[in-house]
């Protein structure tokens, strides 16, 4: 979802890049180095490596922690080591799950990592490996992603709201919905400015809500933009009513002060971005293919 979005943003800016998918195994240092050396950018070496790869199945990671670790930790470290080897800078994507998720104020980059589950543990280890392998690194933590490419909460809610009279959504977990287009532009800004203000940063959209509040806004905009032709009750429930193998963070709000002050990147407000996203796909055949026809 993010990698495809980022490719589009880089292309629209005229930034020369090369992308890879599963044909380059990030668990294999030799494969990474071979790709970096044999895929030159306009005859020159790479200046930046942007790592959007991750194992993100939060529940499944509880039974596949070593599989998740191979991608989120070992693989991330391999990418950073490759960047160091070729003299490039690296941007690595991380997550709010590196925190315990029981706070009452926006998490700062300097707050200690204390993950509650396997997914968070592997991502926290990945951060440490990236920092150790390449001094020229940016670690960008984000949360609650949705976007045009790939399954996500917005598409799921719209599909259910088109076919059901009632949808129940967790109301006791708070965070910030984040449009992949906004995140991709922030990453492109860092690389485009060739920044050297290395370290850990947070980027989500601005503001906060619950998953229930997010769903209510999806429905409101869906009705306004003609995506939803019928009403659907959106009922709040507690996390204890939603089955999960791992405790989801009740608090996922991240502070964006550092990225604004040090990199001059100011995230848009989440409701404005959600409107822009839905306005851009309303009435499209692509949307109907993803969420199904109107009931």
Across the range 31-60, mean pLDDT stands at: 86
Domain with 177 in it: 2-291
- Which residue is associated with the tokens 């599963």? 22
The answer to which of 30-44, 63-77, 208-222, 276-290 has the lowest mean pLDDT is 30-44
Note whether 249 and 116 are within 8 A (CB). yes
Instruction: Say whether pLDDT at 192 is over 70.
Output: yes
Q: Is 119 a catalytic residue?
A: yes
Q: Which residues contact 124 (CB under 8 A, 6 or more apart)?
A: 98, 113, 115
**Number of C-beta neighbours around residue 241 at 10 A:** 11
**Per-residue pLDDT, 245:** 74
Across the range 282-287, mean pLDDT stands at: 92
| pLDDT grade for 243, boundaries at 50, 70 and 90 | confident
**Per-residue pLDDT, 230:** 92
**Per-residue pLDDT, 242:** 79
**Per-residue pLDDT, 106:** 98
Q: DSSP letters of the chain? A: -HHHHHHHHHHHTT-------TTS-TT-HHHHHHHHHHS-BTTB--SEEEE------TTGGGT-HHHHHIIIIIIHHHHHHHHHHHT-EEEEEEEGGGS-S--SSPBPTTSPP--SSHHHHHHHHHHHHHHHH-SSEEEEEE-SEE-SSS--HHHHHHHHHHH-SEEEEE-S-EE--EEHHHHHHHHHHHHHTT----EEEE---BS-EEHHHHHHHHHHHHHHTTS--S--EEEEE-GGGS--SSPPPSB--B--HHHHHHH---PPBHHHHHHHHHHHHTT-HHHHHHH----
> Minimal CA–CA distance to 253: which of 42, 132, 116, 111?
111
b vs e for 95-109, b when ≥16 Cβ sit within 10 Å of the residue's Cβ? bbbbbbbebeebbeb
Percent of the chain with pLDDT strictly greater than 90: 90
The CATH number covering residue 38 comes to 3.40.50.720
**Per-residue pLDDT, 43:** 55
Per annotation, catalytic residue among 55, 97, 107, 119: 119
Whole-prediction pTM:
0.95
- pLDDT tens-digit profile of 222-235? 999 999 999 999 99
Q: For the chain, what is the domain count?
A: 1
**Per-residue pLDDT, 41:** 57
Instruction: Say whether pLDDT at 172 is over 90.
Output: yes
């Amino acid at each position: 979802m993010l990698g495809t979005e980022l490719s589009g943003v880089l292309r629209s800016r005229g930034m020369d890049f090369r992308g890879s998918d599963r044909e380059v195994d990030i668990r294999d240092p030799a494969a990474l180095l071979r790709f970096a050396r044999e895929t030159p950018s306009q005859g020159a070496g790479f200046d930046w490596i942007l790592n959007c790869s991750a194992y993100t199945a939060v529940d499944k990671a509880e039974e596949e922690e070593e599989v998740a670790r191979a991608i989120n930790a070992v693989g991330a470290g391999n990418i950073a080591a490759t960047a160091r080897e070729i003299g490039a800078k690296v941007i690595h994507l991380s997550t709010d799950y590196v925190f315990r998720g029981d706070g009452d104020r926006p998490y700062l980059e300097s707050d200690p990592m204390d993950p509650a589950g396997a997914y968070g543990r592997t991502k926290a280890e990945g951060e440490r490996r990236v920092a150790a392998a390449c001094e020229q690194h940016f670690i960008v933590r984000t949360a609650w992603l949705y976007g045009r490419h790939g399954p996500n909460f917005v598409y799921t809610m719209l599909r259910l709201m088109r076919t059901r009279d009632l949808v129940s959504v967790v109301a006791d977990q708070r965070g910030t919905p984040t449009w992949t287009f906004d995140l991709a532009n922030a990453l492109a800004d860092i690389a485009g400015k060739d920044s050297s203000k290395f370290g850990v940063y947070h980027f989500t959209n601005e503001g906060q809500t619950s998953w229930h509040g997010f769903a209510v806004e999806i429905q409101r905009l869906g009705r306004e933009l003609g995506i939803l032709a019928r009403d659907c009750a959106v009922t709040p429930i507690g996390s204890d009513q939603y089955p999960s193998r791992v405790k989801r963070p009740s608090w996922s709000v991240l502070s964006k002060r550092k990225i604004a002050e040090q990199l001059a990147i100011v995230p848009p407000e989440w409701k404005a971005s959600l409107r822009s996203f839905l306005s851009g796909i309303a009435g499209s055949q692509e949307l109907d293919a993803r969420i199904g026809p109107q009931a």
